[in-house]
Amino acid sequence: MSTPLRVLRLAVVGHTNTGKTSLLRTLTRDPAFGEVLDLPGTTRHVEGVRLLIEGSTAIELFDTPGMEDGMALLDYLDTLAAPGARLDGPARIQRFLDSPESMRRFEQEARVLRKLLECDAGLYVVDARDPVLAKHRDELAVLASCGHPLLPVLNFTHSPDHRIDEWRSALARLGLHAIVEFDTIAPPLDGEDQLYDKLALLLDSHAPTLRALRRDIAEQRRQRRLDGLSLVAEMLMDIAALRLSSPPDDAALQGAAEQLRRLARQREQQCIDALLKRYNFRPADFPAHALPLRGERWDMDLFHPQALKEMGIHLGKGMAAGAMAGATLDMFTAGISLGAATLLGAAAGGLWQGADKLGRRLLGRLRGFQELTVDDAVLRLLAMRELALIAALERRGHAAQGPIEITELIAGKADALRKERLPEDLLEARASPEWSTLTEHYQPTARRAQAVKRLTTELDEPGHTRVPADSCAPGESERHASREVESCRTKR
Ligand SMILES: Nc1nc2c(ncn2[C@@H]2O[C@H](COP(=O)(O)OP(=O)(O)OP(=O)(O)O)[C@@H](O)[C@H]2O)c(=O)[nH]1
Ligand SMILES: [Mg+2]
């Protein structure tokens, strides 16, 4: 049996309105933790949350109220030392906590210091846009008196007016050399790794816990990504395999094309909802995507030719605007009687295999009907935008309050999806209507399950199967980083 990990207790402290509660939201992947407002004095009480590894507590994190008047408090602490008595930092803080002022003027500060004294270390959250002022230095002097390591966490680092260098040199002058840059809205992909690595340096007796947490976070991140890609692969299979038959007259075909589009849009929305849930975000975080999609940007309707053009996807004939946009008449049965299909099948073996798969009875039923499928270009668009959404979710902190933006995140790697032959498994889905859960012909088969698995791998590195193995950068797949830990809350 392995030895239980030593629980690490961390107080999140700092000046008011610097993003302490936001940091906790991001570290716990919980957008509902605490209260976050752009106002000083939002958090009034200490609130705790645990990070678990396999059900056991690894870290206890405590959100604390903001420090408001560090200068006055430092002056007051100076008055507490009895003449001739030399008190060390923690003894001085304890004396303050036992004094009446800790219940009155400095009530908020007392809550912070009481918690920091009890903990193993503090994360000192800084708004990196603030100039370094005497109030910050005094506040840090008071916090340092608790006798525990402090790790400064520079927040708001993406702001154009940040003063990271100024803060780094001011903190170094105060003896704080280990510093983390961690924007809580959009943390660096390896932000948590850096944070826990630096803590391990400051707290070597807790290093095994921190290492275990890092491993767990990496594992959860990888699993989350695979689950996300698998949700996308399932959606692509459903839509690639979707085929609707219609009598060959214009009105009926237009109706069928509209139904095809509706089913595909709904299926995409279902996939988006599932992705948001898997990454612990809320539907409200991605409001631009409410269906039907409108607008002039690339997140417009799935079947709008402009949406494809903007993604650099070539428009096939089927994507012409108008009533049939995005629906392709399937050449395999389109307007071809069974007899003609037999002839054509004989000439083009591949198509005839499809006919076999579909079954003669079904094929018979379709005689005189036309079949509609979703255009390849739409499948490409679906794959690319869901991959972009996953990339955005991996980079988003749970403290973020603005809508998810995905415009910028189409990586060069997606070129394979944009231009090259569609993955084999999607081509097979094309000829396998029973693979689509969207119609009554759906049949779960081991072959479909394997195809989803392969497509999931293919989506992880689009085009990778076409690249010689030795040209892949080592550790490539590790670049898509994010995090997850289980968490549970305790109110104090
Ligand atoms: N742009 C941006 N905004 C942030 C960031 N971190 C926090 N905020 C915003 O800053 C404001 C304050 O955040 P809180 O997390 O409530 O700050 P706090 O330190 O807990 O505040 P108090 O509890 O009042 O001391 C909120 O409007 C947050 O959305 C960040 O990294 N970038
Ligand atoms: Mg707060």
Residue 167 has pLDDT above 90, yes or no: yes
- Closest Cα to atom 17, ligand 1: which residue? 19
pLDDT of residue 257: 83
pLDDT grade, residue 301 (50/70/90)? low
At 414 the pLDDT is 66
In this predicted structure, the answer to whether residue 419 has a pLDDT above a threshold of 60 is yes
Residue 296 is predicted with a pLDDT of: 33
- Residue closest by Cα to atom 11 of ligand 1: 38
Q: Which residue has the tokens 């000192």?
A: 124
Higher-scoring residue by pLDDT: 47, 405: 47
For residue 11, the model assigns a pLDDT of: 98
Q: Give the closest residue (by CA) to ligand 1 atom 26.
A: 38
Give the separation between CA 296 and CA 86, rounded to whole angstroms.
70
Q: What is the pTM of this model?
A: 0.81
| Average predicted confidence (pLDDT) for the chain | 80
Cα separation, 170 vs 188, in Å, equals: 23
- In 133-207 the beta strands, taken as DSSP E runs, fall at 150-155, 180-181
Report the separation in Å between the CA atom of 421 and the middle of ligand 2, taken as the mean of its atom positions.
51
Please answer whether residues 248 and 372 qualify as being in contact, where contact means their C-beta atoms are separated by less than 8 angstroms.
Answer: no
For residue 34, which ligand has an atom nearest its CA? 2
Residue whose CA is closest, atom 13 of ligand 1? 19
Higher per-residue pLDDT: 349 or 431: 431
Instruction: Please state, in angstroms and rounded to a whole number, the distance separating the CA atoms of residues 12 and 151.
Output: 10
Atom from ligand 1 closest to the CA of residue 25: 15
Per-residue pLDDT tens digits for 41-53: 999 999 999 999 9
Token pair recorded at residue 213: 């947490």
CB 447 within 8 A of CB 430: no
**What is residue 444's three-state secondary structure?**
coil
Exposed/middle/buried for 468, CB within 10 Å: 0-12, 13-18, 19+?
exposed
pLDDT, mean of residues 361-375: 63
Residue 298 has pLDDT above 50, yes or no: no
Pocket, ligand 1, Cβ cutoff 6 A: 16-22, 36-38, 40-43, 66, 155-156, 183-185, 399, 401
Helix axis angle, 207-240 to 446-460, nearest 10°: 120
Residue 126's φ and ψ, nearest 5 degrees, are: -120, 135
What per-residue confidence (pLDDT) applies to 45? 93
Model pLDDT for residues 115-146, shown as the tens digit of each residue: 999 999 999 999 999 999 999 999 999 999 99
d(CA 33, CA 485): 14
Which atom of ligand 1 is nearest the CA belonging to 35? 16
Percent of the chain with pLDDT over 90: 52
Compute the distance from residue 131 Cα to the ligand 1 centre, in Å: 17
| Average pLDDT for 445-462 | 92
User: What are the CA-CA distances from residue 468 to residues 88, 412, 454 (Å)?
Assistant: 64, 17, 18
Name the CA dihedral angle for 189, 192, 195, 196, rounded to a multiple of 10 degrees.
-140
The CA-atom distances, in angstroms, between 109 and each of 48, 70, 421 are: 17, 8, 63
Mean pLDDT for 353-371 is 52
Bond prior to 462 in cis (omega within 30° of 0): no
Question: 133 CA to middle of ligand 1, Å?
Answer: 19
Positive or negative torsion for Cα 260, 262, 265, 267: negative
Tell me the CA–centroid distance for residue 12 and ligand 1, in Å.
Answer: 13
Nearest atom within ligand 1 for CA of residue 38: 27
Nearest listed ligand to the Cα of residue 47: 2
63 CA to middle of ligand 2, Å? 7
All domains of the chain, ordered by start, with CATH?
Answer: 8-202 (3.40.50.300), 225-333+369-482 (no CATH)
In degrees rounded to 5, what are phi and psi of residue 47?
-130, 130
Residue range 210-216: mean pLDDT, rounded:
95
